Amino acid sequence: MKIFYSEEHRKHHPPFEVFDGGKRVPYYENPDRMDRILSALEKTDWAELSEPTDFGLDPILTVHDRDYINFLASCWTEWLAADPETAATPEQHAFLPATFALRRKARPTTSLLGKGGYYLMDLSACIVEHTYKAALASANCALTAASSSFILHNSSFALCRPPGHHAGKDYAAGYCFINNAAVAANWLSAKGKVAILDIDYHAGNGTQDIFYERDDVLTISIHGDPDYEYPHYIGFADETGAVKGLGFHKNFPLLKDTGDEGYLSALDEALEMIQKFAPNYLVLSAGMDTFDGDPLGKFHVTREGFAEIGKRIAGLTLPTAIIMEGGYANDALGVNIVTLLENFK
């Protein structure tokens, strides 16, 4: 299996994030995640790692707002110029605003903090010096995987970091800055119908946002019910698309403590929808934070569950671009993703 990976991700390593209640904690979405996956892949006889191709900004700007991308590109430099303390000790800081926009009436302002509060949804979307470069490389991994699956008509894996599925058209959220899966799916949509299946524990709010009014890309997300779980304000069962996209989006919000049986039941329903849609390509947002014991999840999917999930999705026999999303039980992360992937090789 062709696997696309860039060392650029290491340059994005915020020193902290802020949890509920204002608690500072070490950044969960850290480079160790990739090291664990790489170590597991190196033990296989089928993983073929390659650097991604640079696709430029055009495929990204067909999905994301240009002003938002400009903000990501210039944010850190502007912050250093405006704040003497940060400029003196940049490695101890991350750009995070203290005021967030209520989008119903909000618009971006000219001040950096105003723009930050408009373009960042939460306190885990921390920006440091090379966040933008890492996000670009991550998007290029996804695009290269999509291109490989299109050309070779097979499955490929984009080992993306930072992840992407929480990033909307013009906002970052939940460790995500550029929506890698959406960029890949949009690129593929010029060549045929595409389905996106998101199996991350958290709702793919950004992906939903991007494709909500489109009928050429079917989007499905299986996740913890936002009534109790992040991102809280999107991912409910009654959100099914709008305008041309009505009926082309489906959320499966699941209860706390969902295990293999409940998860596979929802997956079977999702796969039936994909078969009826009859896409030419599949983009799989592969989050491993459904795993039993993940620090940021409340499901109990087992390693055997991941094997069955992979088997059933691979049974669609579609060219599939598999895009790495979340998963924070680092000790198990590598083996879990390999367990999923080996069904597609």
Distance CA(83)–CA(78), nearest Å, equals 9
Strand locations in the chain (E):
2-4, 17-18, 24-25, 48-50, 156-158, 194-198, 217-224, 249-254, 281-286, 320-324
4 and 144 Cβ atoms separated by less than 8 Å: yes
Distance between CA atoms of residues 61 and 321, nearest Å: 20
CA atoms within 13 A on the CB side of 41: 21
How many residues would you count in the chain? 345
- For residue 103, give both structure tokens: 């989008």
The one-letter code for the residue type at 227 is: D
Q: Would you name the residues annotated as active-site residues?
A: 166
Question: In this structure, what DSSP letter does residue 173 have?
Answer: B
CB 55 within 8 A of CB 143: yes
What the block records as the tokens of 289 is 């934070």
d(CA 154, CA 1): 9
Torsion of CA 184, 11, 203, 306, to 10 degrees: 80
- Number of Cβ within a 10 Å radius of residue 227: 10
Q: List C-alpha distances in Å: 25 to 21, 79, 82.
A: 11, 22, 26
Judging by beta carbons within 10 Å of its beta carbon (0-12, 13-18, 19+), is residue 333 exposed, middle or buried?
buried
